[in-house]
C-alpha cells in the first residue's frame, strides 16, 4: 500500500515561527515602552490573517481556500478599520461576511465530486459516500457518524464552532490521513479501539489531546494533522 504521509510544508512552519516571533517582539517592545501596543490593531487582525494563510496552505479543497480567504479578508478589514484607514460601519461589514459565507456554501454545493458536509450557523447534512469527509462548521456545530469499511480520511474545519466525528463503526484499509483545522473552536474524534492514532499537528495557543487505549496491532492507522489555534482537539476511543 502506498503511504499517504506527507512531509510538513516548510513554508507553513516558517509562517508559524515568524508569527510567534512577531507577537513576542511586540509584547517586548510594549513592555519596554518603545511601542504603544493595541490588541485590536496589532494582535487580533494579525491572528485572523495568519490563520487564513495557514488554512490556504493546509487545505486540499477549493472550499478550504474560500474559508482561508475569508479569514484573510476579515483580518485586513479589522486592521484597516482600527487604524482609521477604512471608514465603514460594522453593521455593513457583518452582512458582507454572511454573504461571503453563503457564496462559499453555494460554491461547495456545486462541487460534489467528493463527499462533503457543511454546517453554517448550525446545519447538518449527510452524503451517501462516507469514505472521504469534508466537514466545515462556522459559528455552528457539526455532528456526524461514519459507517464505512474503508475510511480514507478527509478534512475538518471548525471556526468559532464545534465538530463531532464518530468513526467507531468504521474501518481503515491500512492508513488514513485526516486534516484538521480549528480556530476559536473544538473538534472531537471518536475512533474504534483497534485503530492506532498518530497526532501530527501544531497547536497555537490551543491543545491536542489523545485519550485512546493503544491497540494490540498497528494494522489500522489514523494520522491526524493540522492546526488548532486558540481551540482544542480531542481523539478518544
Residue 59, Cβ density class (10 Å: 0-12 exposed, 13-18 middle, ≥19 buried): buried
> Residue-wise pLDDT tens for the chain (237 aa)?
333 444 455 666 666 667 667 767 777 776 777 766 665 566 778 888 888 888 888 888 877 888 888 888 888 888 887 777 777 666 766 676 677 667 666 665 665 544 444 444 444 444 446 788 888 888 888 898 999 989 999 999 888 889 999 999 999 988 999 999 998 889 999 999 989 999 888 888 888 888 888 877 778 899 998 889 888 999 988
CA 138 – CA 90 distance, rounded (Å): 19
CA 140 – CA 162 distance, rounded (Å): 7
Amino acid at each position: 500500500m502506498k503511504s499517504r504521509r506527507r512531509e510538513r510544508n516548510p513554508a507553513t512552519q516558517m509562517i508559524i515561527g515568524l508569527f510567534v516571533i512577531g507577537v513576542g517582539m511586540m509584547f517586548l517592545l510594549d513592555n519596554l515602552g518603545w511601542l504603544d501596543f493595541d490588541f485590536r490593531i496589532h494582535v487580533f487582525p494579525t491572528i485572523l490573517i495568519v490563520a487564513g494563510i495557514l488554512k490556504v496552505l493546509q487545505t486540499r479543497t477549493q472550499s478550504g481556500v474560500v474559508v482561508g480567504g475569508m479569514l484573510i479578508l476579515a483580518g485586513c478589514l479589522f486592521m484597516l478599520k482600527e487604524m482609521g484607514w477604512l471608514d465603514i460601519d460594522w453593521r455593513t461589514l457583518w452582512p458582507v461576511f454572511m454573504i461571503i459565507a453563503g457564496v462559499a456554501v453555494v460554491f461547495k454545493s456545486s462541487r460534489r465530486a467528493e463527499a462533503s458536509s457543511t454546517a453554517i450557523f448550525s446545519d447538518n447534512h449527510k452524503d451517501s459516500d462516507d469514505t472521504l469527509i469534508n466537514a466545515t462548521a462556522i459559528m455552528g456545530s457539526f455532528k456526524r457518524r461514519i459507517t464505512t469499511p474503508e475510511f480514507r480520511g478527509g478534512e475538518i474545519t471548525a471556526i468559532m464552532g464545534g465538530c463531532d466525528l464518530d468513526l467507531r463503526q468504521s474501518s481503515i484499509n491500512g492508513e488514513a490521513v485526516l486534516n484538521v483545522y480549528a480556530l476559536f473552536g473544538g473538534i472531537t474524534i471518536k475512533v474504534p479501539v483497534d485503530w492506532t492514532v498518530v497526532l501530527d499537528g501544531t497547536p497555537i495557543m490551543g491543545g491536542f489531546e489523545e485519550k485512546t487505549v493503544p491497540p494490540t496491532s498497528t494494522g489500522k492507522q489514523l494520522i491526524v494533522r493540522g492546526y488548532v489555534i486558540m481551540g482544542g482537539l480531542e481523539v478518544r476511543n
